[in-house]
């Protein structure tokens, strides 16, 4: 018998979204070398690591270079110094979390994907639509049945249990539920009351909520940072967090996953199953990186990351204020680095055909509006967004802009958008 | 429906080996506070990171702290600067490997476990016995059928296709074959001719060889460092490598996985499937760590790691020379940091019952010899090894010692062993 590959990979739809965005942007740039193109499509940070982090990593490098302070294999769950810092951070939201619940990871993405290993194949999975493509792809790879919770202006892009689309009209209850708040791509944030509804639903049905809180540092006011701020979550939820957006760790790789001792299925503690998975297939985050992450939670570290987060928030506000002035519907922008806006129907503009000439939208009159708007915005204003259609069915006619550019570029992009829509 | 856990986890045997060794060692230490216990059971390095590595990581930390040189998300396959360094390293063995084959990982263990994701569940897997427990556990977790290739003095702990144990006398051909050379735990190293036999077997049957080369840096003379030094490997093998033992990266986490473009199953390139898996469930190794790993391959880096490797090899030689003098059969010790020795039958020693009094071996007369020897060695000589029975059926009556202690302790441990066996 020859080795057989995982046939479920054949069911993956080639995710061309970001590659296609990059391709069209590069083509525009090559054809217009004299125009400054502004990229607001990528979800990657641009501000450097805070000085406390780099200093901590340099000190840790020195430690690793001396026999007396060298460290070999670390604990699978991460070092206690960092787990305890995370524990204190949760206390700040009023959440008392036991240390055994906290696992240090190399990022929310890895853990969100690998976490599925500890569940049986025949679980049914619910993902919101539009959605971070990783939730869908990781479950397709495992051959799991996927349901969707549809979003729209009507529910403010915050789908609730009643928005679950059941196949062939049957009422279906998912076993595993993905929630992301603040959401990627929409930037919408669930209230405590909304989360309570999901928690009650999960507890009533034995479902598990995989709560992606990668953008929690952007939350302000009374909105929840953590699902564990809401009663009942300890028996139905796992939370995935990241230093990526919080402290600029996209290229440094660190996050944490929180699995309360009270989360039990089939008579087993989920945190015990996860520890078994991790101790068998993982060897932890580099010591040096864990020291860098620890520094984020110091008083000085919190000041330095606040400066970066405020910088991105100021950009988000510039975008949101512009859309308010233009009367364009959007979500996000206030508690999120993402702005999710309804595309104005630029196909009615007198110059539409002329502007998009030579783009894929010109060749395909049936292209989704979000791609048409993308092309028009790129050709006329040299601004790059991400078309909503790429994030799911409910994403059509929307565009995602990110706040990770410089302030100057964000301002200029909004001036160009305003001018483009002719309301200036 | 409630969320269902992965039922295959119930089939895992609680791996108590290292925990039990640690427990017994700690008990001895607590009961004998005046005796210097020497630990030769762990497979973790003790020498610090080479200066070129720590300097490179400090420079990279500084880069990450400046906006002009900051790096966000990196390539899933790793940065080309490191992949090209690995490519040059392979040229040193006479292996021309295309860049697209080289994936940077956070260690051989993660990749060896996660690599199974891209294969169907109904593949039959072959593992050598004794074996690194991770090969077995990761396949049990996926519900795969496992065959074993048995080892002994007869085949020098280098099992060949004829050593495959088929269930119920049926001739069974595995789809996925694990090989580890230099081997953990036995330290034995396959020759080119032996690897050629495995390669021909795999190519004839369409099997894939997962070749764990984590200890290749200890290989000397004409023995192969890489399976790709042998003709035919490009169409049947994947190689997993690590900086852990080579450069002291057990707590810094970096390795690489090599998947030739020619490795195709079900009409698909295995490297393409792996890239799809990694881009969906992984975000790469920290930039800082990749810069540290790159420094390992510089001229100065190679000098510095050679110093560390030679240090461990010298320890291995001290152990091997002692066993030669004592007339004890062993494998490893020459091209490996592990020494795998046949346990002398200490149960015939006049003081056996007296020495092991109060240990688990005293309570269980039917305990495997390797645990009895472990207890006797600990109680009489205060030296900690790892009992072979913990690595599989064929491991019984053997003990693993590691060369990762200090030279002084290694010498003292061998003096104690010699005295214990009364041949001095």
Of the partner residues B62, B74, B208, the one whose CB lies closest to the CB of residue A251: B74
Residue A336 lies inside a defined structural domain of this protein: yes
Residue B154 lies inside a defined structural domain of this protein: yes
- C-alpha–C-alpha distance, residues A29 and B138, integer Å: 47
Res A423: pLDDT: 64
Check which CATH number belongs to the domain holding B411 and give it: 3.90.1150.10
Flag whether pLDDT at A1 surpasses 70: no
- C-alpha–C-alpha distance, residues B182 and B184, integer Å: 7
A273/B6 CB distance under 8 A:
yes
Which residues in chain B are contacts of A273 at CB distance < 8 A?
Answer: 5-6, 9
Whether residue A38 is found in the same domain as residue A79: no
| DSSP characters over B101-158 | GEEEES-HHHHHHHGGGGB-TT-EEEEEES--HHHHHHHHHTT-EEEEEE--TTTTT-
Residue B2 lies inside a defined structural domain of this protein: no
Whether residue B396 is found in the same domain as residue B377: yes
Residues near B77 by Cβ (< 8 Å), separated by ≥ 6?
A: B83, B102, B103, B104, B275, B278, B284
Whether residue A212 is found in the same domain as residue A258: yes
Q: How many CB atoms lie within 10 A of CB A138?
A: 22
What average pLDDT does the segment B198-203 reach? 98
Whether residue A152 is found in the same domain as residue A255: yes
Whether residue B260 is found in the same domain as residue B344: no
Closest CA to B10 of B115, B113, B140: B140
Q: Cα–Cα distances in Å, from B322 out to A82, B11, B312, B338, B369?
A: 44, 41, 16, 14, 21
Q: Cα–Cα distances in Å, from A73 out to A397, B46, B107, B248?
A: 50, 10, 11, 10
Q: How far is A47 from chain B (nearest CA, A)?
A: 6
Final residue belonging to a domain, choices A281, A297, A313? A297
Q: Which of residues 147-186 of A touch B (CB under 8 A)?
A: 173, 175-176
Closest residue of chain A to B76, computed from CA coordinates: A251
For A211-249, how does the pLDDT look when each residue is reduced to its tens digit (9 = 90+)? 999 999 999 999 999 999 999 999 999 999 999 999 999
Q: How far is A422 from chain B (nearest CA, A)?
A: 35
Whether residue A233 is found in the same domain as residue A319: no
Whether residue A238 is found in the same domain as residue A346: no
What average pLDDT does the segment B363-391 reach? 96
Q: How far is A147 from chain B (nearest CA, A)?
A: 14
Closest residue of chain A to B142, computed from CA coordinates: A117
In the numeric block, the tokens 């490009």 are attached to B234
Res A14: pLDDT: 73
Of the partner residues A45, A106, A117, the one whose CB lies closest to the CB of residue B72: A45
Mean pLDDT of chain B: 95
- Of chain A, the percentage scoring pLDDT greater than 90 comes to 93
Final residue belonging to a domain, choices A249, A270, A297? A297
Whether residue A274 is found in the same domain as residue A348: no
- C-alpha–C-alpha distance, residues B207 and B209, integer Å: 7
Q: Cα–Cα distances in Å, from B128 out to B50, B98, B240, B403?
A: 34, 30, 16, 23
A141/B49 CB distance under 8 A:
no
Whether residue A240 is found in the same domain as residue A132: yes
Give the pLDDT band (50/70/90) at residue B71: very high
Flag whether pLDDT at A390 surpasses 80: yes
Mean pLDDT of chain A: 95
Exposed, middle or buried: residue A276 (CB in 10 Å: 0-12, 13-18, 19+)?
Answer: buried
Whether residue A285 is found in the same domain as residue A379: no
Optimal mutation site among A48, A214, A251, interface B, most CBs of chain B within 10 A: A251
Flag whether pLDDT at A166 surpasses 80: no
Q: How many CB atoms lie within 10 A of CB B16?
A: 10
Q: How many CB atoms lie within 10 A of CB A350?
A: 8
- C-alpha–C-alpha distance, residues B229 and B330, integer Å: 27
For A65-85, how does the pLDDT look when each residue is reduced to its tens digit (9 = 90+)? 999 999 999 999 999 999 999
- C-alpha–C-alpha distance, residues B148 and B131, integer Å: 10
Residues near B302 by Cβ (< 8 Å), separated by ≥ 6?
A: B296
Final residue belonging to a domain, choices B297, B316, B345? B297
* Cα torsion angle, B92, B96, B98, B103, sign: negative
ipTM of the predicted assembly exceeds 0.85? yes
| DSSP characters over B5-68 | B-GGGGGPPP--HHHHHHHHHHHHHHH-TTS--EE-------SPPPHHHHHHHHHHHHHHTSTT
Residue B4 lies inside a defined structural domain of this protein: no
H/E stretch holding A178: strand A176-180
- C-alpha–C-alpha distance, residues B240 and B84, integer Å: 17
Whether residue B271 is found in the same domain as residue B373: no
Beta bridge partners of B226: none
- C-alpha–C-alpha distance, residues B305 and B300, integer Å: 9
The reply to whether A208 touches chain B by the CB within 8 Å rule is yes
Residue A1 lies inside a defined structural domain of this protein: no
The reply to whether B74 touches chain A by the CB within 8 Å rule is yes
For B238-274, how does the pLDDT look when each residue is reduced to its tens digit (9 = 90+)? 999 999 999 999 999 999 999 999 999 999 999 999 9
The reply to whether B5 touches chain A by the CB within 8 Å rule is yes
A78 and A284 in contact (C-beta within 8 Å)? Answer: yes
Check which CATH number belongs to the domain holding B223 and give it: 3.40.640.10
Domain encompassing residue B109: 51-297
Residue B118 lies inside a defined structural domain of this protein: yes
A17 and A142 in contact (C-beta within 8 Å)? Answer: no
The reply to whether B54 touches chain A by the CB within 8 Å rule is yes
Residue B1 lies inside a defined structural domain of this protein: no
Which residues in chain A are contacts of B206 at CB distance < 8 A?
Answer: 1-3
Which residues in chain A are contacts of B5 at CB distance < 8 A?
Answer: 118-120, 265-266, 268, 270, 273
Residue A4 lies inside a defined structural domain of this protein: no
Q: How many CB atoms lie within 10 A of CB A102?
A: 26
Which residues in chain B are contacts of A70 at CB distance < 8 A?
Answer: 46-49, 248, 251
Token digits of residue A248: 């600029």
- C-alpha–C-alpha distance, residues B308 and B407, integer Å: 12
Q: Which of residues 376-415 of A touch B (CB under 8 A)?
A: none
For A310-326, how does the pLDDT look when each residue is reduced to its tens digit (9 = 90+)? 999 999 999 999 999 99
The reply to whether A266 touches chain B by the CB within 8 Å rule is yes
Whether residue B205 is found in the same domain as residue B175: yes
Token digits of residue B210: 């997962």
Radius of gyration of chain B (CA): 22
For B25-52, how does the pLDDT look when each residue is reduced to its tens digit (9 = 90+)? 999 999 999 999 999 987 899 999 999 9
Optimal mutation site among B72, B140, B257, interface A, most CBs of chain A within 10 A: B72
The reply to whether A125 touches chain B by the CB within 8 Å rule is no
Closest CA to B380 of B336, B424, B421: B421
For A279-375, list the strands marked E by DSSP.
330-332, 338-342
* Cα torsion angle, A324, A329, A333, A334, sign: positive
Q: How far is A309 from chain B (nearest CA, A)?
A: 15
Q: How many CB atoms lie within 10 A of CB B208?
A: 26
**Secondary structure letter of residue A233 according to DSSP:** G
Find the DSSP H helices in B182-298: 192-205, 244-247, 270-281, 287-296
Closest residue of chain B to A111, computed from CA coordinates: B281
- The number of distinct structural domains making up chain B is 2
């Amino acid at each position: 018998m020859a080795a057989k590959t995982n046939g479920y990979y054949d069911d993956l739809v080639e995710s061309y979204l970001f590659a296609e965005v990059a391709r069209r942007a590069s083509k525009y740039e090559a054809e217009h070398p004299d125009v400054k193109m502004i990229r607001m499509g990528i979800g990657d940070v641009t501000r450097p690591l805070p000085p406390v982090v780099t200093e901590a990593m340099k000190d840790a490098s020195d430690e690793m270079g001396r026999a007396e302070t060298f460290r070999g294999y670390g604990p699978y769950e991460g070092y206690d110094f960092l787990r305890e810092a995370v524990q204190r951070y949760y206390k700040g939201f009023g959440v008392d979390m036991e240390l055994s619940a906290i696992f240090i990871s190399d990022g929310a993405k890895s853990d969100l994907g690998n976490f599925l290993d500890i569940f049986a194949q025949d679980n049914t999975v619910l993902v919101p639509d539009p959605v971070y493509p990783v939730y869908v792809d990781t479950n397709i790879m495992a051959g799991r049945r996927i349901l969707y919770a549809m979003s729209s202006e009507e529910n403010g892009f915050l789908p609730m249990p009643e928005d679950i689309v059941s196949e062939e009209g049957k009422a279906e209850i998912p076993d595993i539920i993905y929630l992301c708040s603040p959401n990627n791509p929409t930037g919408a944030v669930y209230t405590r009351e909304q989360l309570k509804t999901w928690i009650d639903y999960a507890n009533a049905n034995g479902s598990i909520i995989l709560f992606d809180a990668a953008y929690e540092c952007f939350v302000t006011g009374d909105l929840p940072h953590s699902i564990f701020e809401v009663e009942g979550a300890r028996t139905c939820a796992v939370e995935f967090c990241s230093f990526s957006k919080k402290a600029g760790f996209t290229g440094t790789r660190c996050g944490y996953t929180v699995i309360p001792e009270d989360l039990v299925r089939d008579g087993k503690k989920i945190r015990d199953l996860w520890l078994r998975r991790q101790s068998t297939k993982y060897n932890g985050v580099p010591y040096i990186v864990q020291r860098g992450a620890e520094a984020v939670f110091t008083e000085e570290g919190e000041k330095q990351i606040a400066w970066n987060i405020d910088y991105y928030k100021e950009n988000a506000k510039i975008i949101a204020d512009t859309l308010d002035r233009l009367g364009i519907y959007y979500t996000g922008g206030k508690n999120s680095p993402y702005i999710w806006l309804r595309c104005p129907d630029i196909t009615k503009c007198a110059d539409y055909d002329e502007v998009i000439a030579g783009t894929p939208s010109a060749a395909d009159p049936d292209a989704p509006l979000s791609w048409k708007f993308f092309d028009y915005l790129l050709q006329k204003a040299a601004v790059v967004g991400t078309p909503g259609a790429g994030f799911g069915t409910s994403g059509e006619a929307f565009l995602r802009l990110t706040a990770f550019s410089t302030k100057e570029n964000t301002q200029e992009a909004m001036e160009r958008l305003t001018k483009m829509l002719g309301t200036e």
